[in-house]
Amino acid sequence: MGRNGEALKRAFVERARQIGFDTIRIAAPDSIPLAPERLKAWLEAGRHASMDWMADTAERRADPRVLWPDVRSVILLGVNYGPTGDPLATLAKKDRGSISIYARNRDYHDVIKGKLKEVAGFLASRASSDVKVFVDTAPVMEKPLAEAAGLGFQGKHTVIVSREFGNWLFLGAIFTTAELPADEPERNHCGSCRRCLDICPTNAFPAPFQLDARRCISYLTIEHKGHIPEELRPGIGNRIFGCDDCLAVCPWNKFAQASREAKLMQRDDLAALPLADLARLDDPAFRTRFSGTPIKRTGRDRFIRNVLIAIGNSGDAALADEAARLLDDPSPLVRAMAVWAVGRLLPREAIASLGAGRFEREEDADVRVEWSRALGIQEEVAA
């Protein structure tokens, strides 16, 4: 490798910084020997929930050399998306929806992919080597690789914590056939702290360093396509898209800095949207409202499902009308959560009057179960 590798690395790092990457480190392709076994155990325990693509790609995901046998160096790049204010401030506003920091502007996949392509092009031409770029979309274990490259350490919440930026970093990876000198790995600096584990509203950590996606609000509100299990709904509070609780409490965020990327800075108009307005979005209005942001990926029905859970958790009877308006929505996902929300906000007689006729007419089994619970009809649940 020698001097050529060092010089190439320096030039690459400089270019990557100019393009907008905040931290750039390099790992050898064989640097995550524990990952295959840990990924396998995670999948076998079912912790990937309905994300079948995690299981389907396990072999390639666990080892960069299986994904691309020619790879000689793995470059990990981080973009800081540090917030400017308290990321949990909106949780106290019960009539508002809380959207996680990462989703309060442009979809980071779009932003980072462009930057990765640009800097990978630079490398390919300088080193006359092949390159492949990855951001979240390919089977790559970005976090263990980032730790091996020394970009940060995987905290007990499983996310990468950087000593420069805290845990507000998006990760991207470039695989290359160029031989570049690898950096030193980072070691864990959690010590006896367990703030992230203790704050989780839905107890999604069965043990430190292990996350059960089936209980994680980020999974439930973004990835999960079906109904959200009843016992987890109260813990979701007003988080309508993603969750930042475990990230926000990490003491290493004292080193965090506000993002320098305009496309990733939080848009104030997305921070705390009135639930009453959101509940009225039809499909075209939803698409227009969230165009270009990660939020549009859930589609209108799943998003309104989340909004209705927040309405049900608001304790605000004034919002019951918004939920009642959705009792006849064409989507069973929406109807079911409309029933749950009115069931949480209104007295028994009001629920009975809303259910009259609707319960009898309802053909969807899951929505009928929600009506049965709301109306207190035990035998129907069992049937």
Query: Is 136 an annotated catalytic residue?
Result: yes
Sequence-ordered alpha helix ranges (H) in the chain: 2-19, 35-44, 52-56, 58-62, 64-67, 108-127, 142-148, 195-199, 217-218, 233-236, 245-248, 275-278, 283-289, 299-313, 320-324, 332-345, 348-355, 358-361, 365-375, 378-382
38 is in an annotated binding site: no
Name the catalytic one among 22, 63, 130, 136.
136
| Binding partner at 190 among ligand SF4, ligand B12, none, C-beta below 5 to 8 Å by kind | ligand SF4
Confirm or deny that 216 is annotated as ligand binding: yes
Angle of helix 348-355 versus helix 332-345 axis, rounded to 10: 150
- What values do phi and psi take at 79, rounded to 5? -115, 125
- Cα–Cα distance for residue pair 146/172, rounded to 1 Å: 9
Q: How far apart are CA 72 and CA 179, in angstroms?
A: 6
Task: Please name the residues in contact with 326: beta carbons below 8 A apart, sequence gap of 6 or more.
Answer: 279, 304, 308, 334, 335, 338
Tokens of 74: 């793995």
212 belongs to an annotated ligand binding site: no
User: Among residues 77, 76, 73, which one has the least CA distance to residue 181?
Assistant: 73
* Residue 243 beta carbon to ligand SF4: minimum distance, rounded to whole angstroms: 3
Q: Which does 250 bind (CB under 5 to 8 A by kind): ligand SF4, ligand B12, none?
A: ligand SF4
Residue 38 contact partner, candidates ligand SF4, ligand B12, none, CB within 5 to 8 A by sort of partner: ligand B12
- Work out whether 223 is an interface residue with ligand B12 (CB under 6 A): yes
169 binds, among ligand B12, ligand SF4, none (CB under 5 to 8 A by kind): ligand B12
Residue 86 counted as an annotated binding residue = no
Q: Is 153 in the site for ligand B12 (CB under 6 A)?
A: no
And the tokens for 11? 């030039």
- If binding is defined by CB under 6 A, does position 140 make contact with ligand B12? yes
Q: Tell me which of 90, 167, 238, 259 binds ligand B12, using CB under 6 A.
A: 167
Q: Which does 368 bind (CB under 5 to 8 A by kind): ligand SF4, ligand B12, none?
A: none
Site stretch for ligand B12 (CB under 6 A), options 5-13, 215-223, 249-257, 286-294 = 215-223
Chain center to CA of 277: 24
d(CA 37, CA 363): 45
Of the pair 64, 355, the CB lying nearest ligand B12 is at 64
Q: Count residues contacting ligand B12 (CB under 6 A)?
A: 36
Residue 193 among known ligand-binding residues: yes
User: For binding to ligand B12 (CB under 6 A), which residues are involved?
Assistant: 35, 38-39, 42, 51, 100, 102, 135-136, 140-144, 154, 157-160, 167, 169-171, 209-211, 213, 216, 218-219, 223, 242-244, 246-247
Binding residues: 61, 136, 160, 171, 190, 193, 196, 200, 216, 218, 225, 243-244, 246, 250
Residues assigned a catalytic role: 136
Please give the annotated binding residues for tRNA, written as ranges. Answer: 225
